[in-house]
Amino acid sequence: MLIEAKNLSVSYDKKVVVHNIDLHVNKGEILSIVGPNGCGKSTVLKSLTRLLKPSGGDVLFEGKLIKKISTKDIAKRLAVLPQIRQTPEDFDVETLIRYGRYPHGNFSGKLNDEDRRIIKWALKQTGMTHYKNQKLTQLSGGERQRAWIAMALAQKTDIIVLDEPTTFLDLSHQLEVLELIKALNKTENVTILMVLHDLNQAIRYSDRVYVMKRGNIIAEGKPEDVLSSKRLREVFHIDSDFYTDFRNDSPHFIAHRMKVEDHDSKCSAKRKKAIQ
Ligand SMILES: Nc1ncnc2c1ncn2[C@@H]1O[C@H](COP(=O)(O)OP(=O)(O)OP(=O)(O)O)[C@@H](O)[C@H]1O
Ligand SMILES: [Mg+2]
């Protein structure tokens, strides 16, 4: 087990937004967390990666309390791509990626041959070689996204944690990023923990998923078992028709907005049951 959260709670001021959850990340897997806006996904990622202090419970990295591991040691093992990133005004792409190498160096800022080779590799993997001297502020949203992913790649860690890695990307680049993530996982055995909004992509690219609702984990398991029509209705309030994606041999669904009367009648049935 690479990361384990035990009885984890997280609060902002006094408001508890994650309630006593247990979660783990196995070595070598692609794990996704899904759930509606505001259910606590980013908060969980932040507390798993030490960006946020939990209000209760523990986070362990390879069995050690993560809060006891030095920042430099963690940065060698774990790369994070947060959901909201501040773009340093005057950085060009290569400078950003170079930051990914800092945890491995002596902080003098000098690059060795291996650093240079890895930076080149990260640029190539993300299709950013031609943009390497371009300022981040002069890139499109998608190009910028790929530059940040390149930085995470350059860190050469055992695990990469990505919060909505496909935001801002057109469909072709979304697939490119997810295929890249999958390839890294398969060929370099990099463990992946990510938050995805596109549930079909979560089904297709994850080995395992956690489903969150209002700060709780309500389901965990193989995506095809966990993301059923019934659950999509319960968590996302959508009706879904499932088909088989024969090319990838995985389920794929089309979502429909749940009819308001369906929702209302379900709610009133529940209410009636509760009164009885
Ligand atoms: N810095 C903060 N201060 C106070 N409340 C916050 C803060 N960040 C998030 N929250 C609240 O905590 C809850 C969980 O937020 P979080 O960002 O983890 O959700 P999320 O599942 O990642 O949502 P999204 O899908 O929109 O990214 C939300 O109700 C949000 O309003
Ligand atoms: Mg989020």
Per-residue model confidence as pLDDT tens digits over 217-276:
999 999 999 999 999 999 999 999 999 999 989 999 999 988 765 555 555 566 556 555
Based on the fold, state whether residues 268 and 214 are members of the same structural domain: no
Q: Is 47 in the pocket of ligand 1 (CB under 6 A)?
A: no
Based on the fold, state whether residues 248 and 217 are members of the same structural domain: no
Q: Where is the domain boundary, 203, 227, 251?
A: 227
Q: Is 39 in the pocket of ligand 1 (CB under 6 A)?
A: yes
Q: Where is the domain boundary, 227, 246, 265?
A: 227
Based on the fold, state whether residues 214 and 256 are members of the same structural domain: no
Based on the fold, state whether residues 77 and 122 are members of the same structural domain: yes
Number of domain units in the chain: 2
Based on the fold, state whether residues 204 and 259 are members of the same structural domain: no
Give the CATH number, domain containing residue 175.
3.40.50.300
Based on the fold, state whether residues 236 and 152 are members of the same structural domain: no
CA of 247 to the centre of ligand 1 (A): 36
Based on the fold, state whether residues 188 and 235 are members of the same structural domain: no
The tokens of 176 are what?
């490119």
pTM of the model: 0.90
| Ligand closest in space to the Cα of 33 | 1
Based on the fold, state whether residues 198 and 258 are members of the same structural domain: no
Based on the fold, state whether residues 256 and 140 are members of the same structural domain: no
CB-based neighbours (< 5 A) of ligand 2, an ion:
42, 83
Q: Is 43 in the pocket of ligand 1 (CB under 6 A)?
A: yes
Q: Which residues of 103-133 are buried (b: 16+ CB within 10 A; e: fewer)?
A: bbeeeeeeeeeebeebbeebbebbebeebbe
Question: What is d(CA 171, CA 161) in angstroms, rounded to the nearest whole number?
Answer: 21
Give residue 264's domain range.
228-276
The predicted structure's pLDDT at residue 89: 72
Based on the fold, state whether residues 25 and 69 are members of the same structural domain: yes
Each residue's pLDDT tens digit, 158-217: 999 999 999 888 898 899 889 989 999 998 899 999 999 999 999 999 999 999 999 999
Residue 7, helix vs strand vs coil: strand
Q: Where is the domain boundary, 192, 207, 227?
A: 227
Based on the fold, state whether residues 167 and 262 are members of the same structural domain: no
Based on the fold, state whether residues 265 and 216 are members of the same structural domain: no
- Burial of 63: CB neighbours in 10 Å, binned 0-12, 13-18, 19+: exposed
